[in-house]
């Protein structure tokens, strides 16, 4: 039996969210937090990485003397 205190009319924003909507909201907040953390760490890594043009190019055989 439905409760007589539940709001079934009016704007969707004025009603309290059900458990499925709350779970979807939590999931969206977690995805946004992970994406923003990844973007922030990528930006920090990009800004602190050494310039690749001035760095010495090394490879698996760079320690052998070449003529």
The per-residue pLDDT for range 29-64, each reduced to its tens digit, is 999 999 999 999 999 999 998 766 555 666 777 676
Segments forming the whole domain that contains residue 24? 17-42
30 located within any domain:
yes
State pTM to two decimals.
Answer: 0.53
33 located within any domain:
yes
Determine the pLDDT at residue 25.
93
25 located within any domain:
yes
Cα separation, 21 vs 52, in Å, equals 47
Determine the pLDDT at residue 35.
97
37 located within any domain:
yes
54 located within any domain:
no
Q: How many domains are contained in the chain? A: 1
């Amino acid at each position: 039996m439905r409760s007589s205190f539940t709001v079934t009319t009016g704007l969707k924003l004025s009603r309290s969210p059900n458990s499925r909507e709350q779970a979807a909201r939590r999931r969206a907040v977690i995805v946004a937090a992970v994406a923003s953390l990844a973007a922030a760490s990528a930006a920090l890594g990009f800004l602190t990485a050494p310039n690749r043009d001035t760095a010495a190019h090394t490879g698996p055989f760079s320690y052998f003397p070449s003529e």
